Amino acid sequence: MRARLCVLVSGRGRNLRALHAACADGRIDADLVRVVSNRPDAAAVSFAREQGIEAVVVDNREFGTRMAFDAALGDAIAAADPDWIALAGFMRVLSDGLVQRFAGRMLNVHPSLLPRHRGLHTHRAVMAAGEREHGASVHFVSPELDSGPVIIQGRCSVTADDDEDTLAQRVLETVELRIYPQAVAWACAGRLRWRGRSAVLDDRALTRPLDLTSLEEGF
């Protein structure tokens, strides 16, 4: 039976498009059953509806407290009865209670080589630090921001001509759009889980994140 996948979005939806394409062509053994956004004007919402995917908006601006928003967001996710939830540019910090509600079933792609540069503005931070290498990581979502077990990372160079925009684009196109569908494919195939403090792939605890050489054919 194919897994049920719910994707959380806030923006353009580039990672959503990659996940949708991988579900459509069979690389991810899942049905993308619902997209949930906190922004009604997100391009990702329009894309989902164009593809015939149910898209639900839970606008954080309509709630008086974070607790109320997270409760509504959690209900919108749960209503899709998902096996896995993928955060794809979802720009809200989730409460501990919401993370625990879906513990071990929620993945995120973050544009840095975790544990370096958690949180926002990672491309700016890399450039400010004069680093010559950047990348992205897929990890399990934990209550502590960007701190769950890392599954896979990819690296790319920072050039002298880069600005934040060019660096962000390189990380997205050469790393994120490859490693995120792969990690979600492992999850939906029943090959990936969280055990103790580690990500476990094919019953093997990962002592360090996998890298681009671990990508399977098609990714």
Residue 212: burial class (beta carbons within 10 Å; 0-12, 13-18, 19+): middle
| Continuous H helices in the chain | 14-24, 43-50, 66-78, 96-101, 122-128, 164-171, 177-188
Neighbouring-strand partners of residue 30: 3
Residue 79: burial class (beta carbons within 10 Å; 0-12, 13-18, 19+): middle
Q: Which domains does the chain have, with CATH numbers?
A: 3-119+136-154+176-214 (3.40.50.170)
Q: Is the pTM of this model over 0.85?
A: yes
pLDDT tens digits for range 170-190: 999 999 999 999 999 999 999
Dihedral (Cα; 3, 81, 145, 171), 10-degree rounding: 40
Q: Which positions are catalytic?
A: 110
Q: What is the DSSP string of 85-104?
A: EEEES--SPPPHHHHHHTTT
pLDDT value for 139: 98
pLDDT tier, 196 (very low <50, low <70, confident <90, very high otherwise): very high
- Both tokens of 152, joined, read 């896979």
pLDDT tier, 23 (very low <50, low <70, confident <90, very high otherwise): very high
